Amino acid sequence: MKILIVEDNRELAETLVHYFKQEGYLCETAYNYQTAEEKVHLYEYDVIVLDITLPDGSGLEILKQLKQKRPDAGVLIISAKDALDDKLNGLNLGADDYLTKPFHLAELNARIQSLLRRKRFNGSHEITVGDLRLNTVTAQVLVKGQEIILTRKEYELLLYFLSNRNRILNKEAIAEHLWGDNIDMADSFDFIYTHIKNLRKKIASHGSTNNIKSVYGMGYKFVAE
């Protein structure tokens, strides 16, 4: 899953990035309002961890703009402000949760996991499509009850497809979601084909149907029948 951390305290932001990378997330950071505003307009994230007190603007304004563009975006506010009015303002603008500083990293992670389950998987940590089952807690993938071993990128790719069932995803969107904004430096996205081919092969080797369809000239789609 891809997270944007909007936090002006660089030490805290770096601590969060280090922790969440160990948890298997892809993390990006924005240390000020301007950078955060640019990122939420250019890229999509599964969850945005948002400090509402930034040196050059209000995180609430970013939240407002984000919800106008993507009403389904997951946002968790972290703030030193513990006043009821601040919490109500954030939640009324569309934030999914509000956590007061200081906090335990494990609690923040648990809240993000809960938010993702609500947003993407109807509150469950398991996704089942036909004879394929994926557990987002254990990162285990089963086909017809047998576990298949995927690389980290193959697992993230499959999870991205399952999170966007029956939607066409182009190569640029897939690459940006899995590798972050550093992908802008790539000369081409041909390597996406290799990852998809390997994922298809591993799923098919266990006798499952190929649900990942190529859509000519547009990209790929995971067809959930």
The 3-state DSSP class for residue 81 equals coil
Whole-Å CA distances, 210 to 31, 169, 213: 42, 16, 7
**Alpha-carbon gap, residue 222 to 167, rounded angstroms:** 7
* Cβ neighbour number for residue 127 with a 10 Å cutoff: 20
How much is the pLDDT for 37?
A: 93
How much is the pLDDT for 185?
A: 60
Tell me the fold of 126-222: Arc Repressor Mutant, subunit A (1.10.10)
User: What is the CATH architecture of 2-121?
Assistant: 3-Layer(aba) Sandwich (3.40)
> What are the extents of the domains in the chain?
2-121, 126-222
Integer distance in angstroms from the first to the last C-alpha of the chain? Answer: 24
The CB-based long-range contact list for 66-74 (8 Å cut-off, 24+ gap) reads 66/40, 66/94, 67/93, 67/94, 69/40, 69/41, 70/44, 72/119, 73/40, 73/44, 73/45, 73/48, 74/45, 74/46, 74/47, 74/48, 74/115, 74/116, 74/119
Relative to beta strand 146-147, strand 140-143 is antiparallel
The 3-state DSSP class for residue 80 equals coil
Q: Where are any strands of DSSP class E within 7-129? A: 26-30, 47-51, 53-54, 57-58, 74-79, 97-100, 126-129
> Sign of torsion, CA 157 158 161 166?
positive
Note down pLDDT in tens along the chain; length 225 residues.
789 999 999 999 999 999 988 887 889 999 999 999 999 988 888 899 999 889 998 999 999 999 888 888 889 999 887 767 778 888 888 898 999 888 899 899 888 888 887 776 665 678 888 888 888 878 889 998 899 999 988 988 888 888 888 888 888 888 877 777 666 666 667 788 889 999 999 998 888 877 889 888 888 988 876
| Joined tokens for residue 172 | 């640029």
**Alpha-carbon gap, residue 158 to 50, rounded angstroms:** 27
pTM of the model: 0.66
| CB 39, CB 62: distance < 8 Å | no
The 3-state DSSP class for residue 111 equals helix
